[in-house]
Amino acid sequence: MTAKIIIDTDPGQDDAVAILLALAAPDAIEVLGITAVAGNVPLNLTQKNARIICELAGRPDIPVFAGCDRPLAHPLVTAEHVHGKTGLDGIALPDPRMPLQDTHGVDFIIATLRAHSAGTITLCPLGPLTNIATAFRTAPDIVARVKEIVLMGGAYFEVGNITPAAEFNIYVDPEAADIVFKSGVPLTVMPLDVTHKVLTTRSRMTAIRAIGSPVAHAVAAWTDFFERFDMAKYGQEGAPLHDPCVIAYLLAPHLFTGRHINVEIETTSSLTRGMTVADWWGVTDRPKTAVFMGDVDAQGFYDLLTGCLARY
């Protein structure tokens, strides 16, 4: 059964690999549209980068929308220190020729969920949750129509990457995350606990480079750029490939294991803002709100990714 998805994203090299993975499997995934959000870099760049990626994939037909340009309640925090000034540093790709859609990304999410049968659309957020939360607040009727949300964000055992307590996507817009995590929509979370296990090791990147296509060349060039920051920080071989875990889960859920637990978002403390408070050990009787992933078959993930990228 083909998954109908909306990708909400803040490209970001790892977002780019996730989008390429999704577009490489049209037999399993139908991308109804891509909504850009401010995150790794400002919205004017994330919406442009999303179109660059679609053209690299040979899919200028994919509608790309600009969504929210700032979080619900805090000034925007960006991550140029990881992703570079453009958000896609590592290789210079041509400016997009495909147009940006006139419709606001939030309006696209609302209209699409209303136009399709309830329970048929999966939302795949890869950045801050501002667009999703704004859509839910603007049109509460769509919440029950969402099949599921599979998102990259949060951390528990792996702790934070932008503060000691918080992962970037949740930290940037904790109020939005709180709305999404309390929405009642079936939620699957890919936290740093799994993304830090899918490292871009030399052998894995050698296999991707060996594909020899323009797409593979771009993925390798992006990885060469963005892994430098995490390798220096964590002292490991390679860097985590965060966002493709969301798409890999749709294609091969057996690669991931986790627990259905209560996960709530810290929104008031300045010290722990954006922390995903995951009741991994079931020490409370709080309602279970998310399948929070804890482990992944890393080589299986890379075998899947490499096989799909080789289709371009």
Q: Which residues are catalytic?
A: 242
* Nearest distance from C-beta of residue 155 to ligand RIB, angstroms: 8
Query: What's the min distance (Å) between Cβ of 240 and Ca ion?
Result: 12
Residue 167 in the binding site for ligand RIB (CB under 6 A)? yes
- 152: contact with ligand RIB by CB under 6 A: yes
Residue of 35, 40, 47, 267 that binds ligand RIB (CB under 6 A): 40
**Using H for helix, E for strand and C for coil, what is the string for 72-113?**
CCCCCCCCHHHHCCCCCCCCCCCCCCCCCCCCCHHHHHHHHH
Residues 244-303 contacting ligand RIB, CB under 6 A: none
- Which one of Ca ion, ligand RIB, none interacts with residue 64, CB within 5 to 8 A by kind? none
Cα dihedral 87/89/95/96 (nearest 10): -50
Q: What is the DSSP letter of 8?
A: E
Angle at 214 between CA 209 and CA 216, to 5 degrees: 30
| Phi (first) and psi of residue 213, to 5 degrees | -95, 165
- Of the two residues 78 and 267, which places its CB atom closer to ligand RIB in the complex? 78
Q: Return the residue of 3, 17, 39, 308 that touches ligand RIB, per CB under 6 A.
A: 39
User: What residue 167 binds from ligand RIB, Ca ion, none (CB within 5 to 8 A, per partner kind)?
Assistant: ligand RIB
The CA distances from residue 64 to 15, 96, 251, 290, in Å, are: 14, 11, 22, 28
* b/e sequence 221-248, b meaning 16+ C-beta within 10 Å: bbbbbbbeebeeeeeeebbbbbbbbbbb
154 binds ligand RIB (CB under 6 A): no
Nearer Cβ to Ca ion, position 161 or 262?
161
Among 3, 7, 8, 14, binds ligand RIB (CB under 6 A): 14
Distance CA 59, CA 23 (A): 8
**By the criterion CB under 6 A, which residues form the site for ligand RIB?**
10, 12, 14-15, 39-40, 126-127, 152, 161, 167-169, 242-243
